[in-house]
């Protein structure tokens, strides 16, 4: 079964628009996580950025206490955040690139370019009992590098697919890239997740990508929740994901 990890960063973004720098505020991302899990989500994803622009330290500590399924901690490979992850012991960390000026993650990790640093962090996480995923573009060289770091998972960056789908209503060339990447990753022993820009309109198009285990989706679910509520938004996504063919 294709699983859903609900990214709650955008709930925190809404809170910080009014309450940044304060120790209270609404909406609460932890309460959002509880609602998503009660609606059937398989896990919760949160990204603690170095600049704390949305999720903050108190959020991830509270999430670790309430998420009893799968807590996916997105993070840059930065010393301060690595130490927090080691202390926190989420179920899995997903290493992502991070730039201060970007609104959201814009591309995959350059695993070859940061190979030794990523390999070292992956070992520390595994030694602490934490699974490791790398957020990468569907590029052969990056997948091969990921397999050599000791990470157990990759998360394929579906942003270019989402952009292509919006432009032509199919995104076929990007679907093919994702499918080929998933096939290679599986052959190299990597588990395959995916995420970025996925929504109710484009999701069926990536059902051609084999070996997918989990989709991490945030913005479209939170956006849909404005109109139908978070519980319904999660259920709608799960209903559509149930159409994904078993490998």
To the query of whether residue 219 is one of the catalytic residues in this protein, the response is no
Determine whether 47 is an active site residue: yes
- The DSSP string of the chain is --EEEEE-HHHHHHHHHHHTTSS--SS-HHHHHHHHHHTT-SEEEEE--TT-SSS-HHHHHHHHHH--S-EEEEE-S-HHHHHHHHHH--SEEEE----TT-SS--S---TTTTHHHHHHHHHHHHHTT-EEEEEE-S-HHHHHHHHHHT-SEEEEE-HHHHHHHHHHS--HHHHHHHHHHHHHHHHTT-EEEEESS--TTTGGGGGGSTTEEEEEE-HHHHHHHHHH-HHHHHHHHHHHHTTSPP-
Residue 24 catalytic?
no
Catalytic residue, candidates 47, 54, 155, 157? 47
Which residue is catalytic, options 74, 98, 174, 214? 74
Considering the candidates 42, 98, 196, 214, report the single residue annotated as catalytic.
196
Catalytic residues: 47, 74, 196
């Amino acid at each position: 079964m294709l699983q859903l990890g609900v990214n709650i960063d955008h709930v925190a973004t809404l809170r910080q628009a009014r309450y940044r720098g304060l120790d209270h505020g609404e909406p609460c991302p932890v309460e959002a996580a509880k609602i998503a899990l009660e609606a059937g989500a398989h896990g919760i994803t949160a990204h603690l950025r170095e600049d704390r622009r949305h999720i903050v330290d108190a959020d991830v500590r509270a999430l670790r206490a309430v998420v009893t399924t799968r807590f996916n901690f997105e993070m840059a490979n930065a010393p301060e955040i690595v130490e927090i992850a080691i202390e926190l012991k989420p179920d899995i960390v997903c290493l992502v690139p991070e730039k201060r000026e970007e609104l959201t993650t814009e591309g995959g990790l350059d695993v070859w370019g940061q190979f030794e640093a990523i390999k070292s962090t992956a070992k520390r996480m595994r030694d602490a009992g934490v699974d490791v995923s790398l957020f990468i573009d569907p590029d052969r060289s990056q997948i091969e590098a990921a397999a050599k770091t000791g990470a157990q998972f990759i998360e394929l960056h579906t942003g270019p697919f989402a952009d292509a789908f919006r432009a032509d209503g199919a995104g076929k060339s990007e679907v093919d890239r994702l499918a080929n990447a998933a096939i290679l990753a599986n052959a190299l022993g990597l588990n395959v997740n995916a995420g970025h820009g996925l929504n109710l309109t484009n999701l069926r198009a990536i059902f051609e990508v084999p070996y997918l285990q989990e989709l991490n989706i945030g913005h479209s679910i939170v956006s849909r929740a404005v109109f139908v509520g978070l519980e319904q938004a999660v259920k709608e996504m799960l209903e559509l994901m149930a159409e994904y063919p078993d490998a």
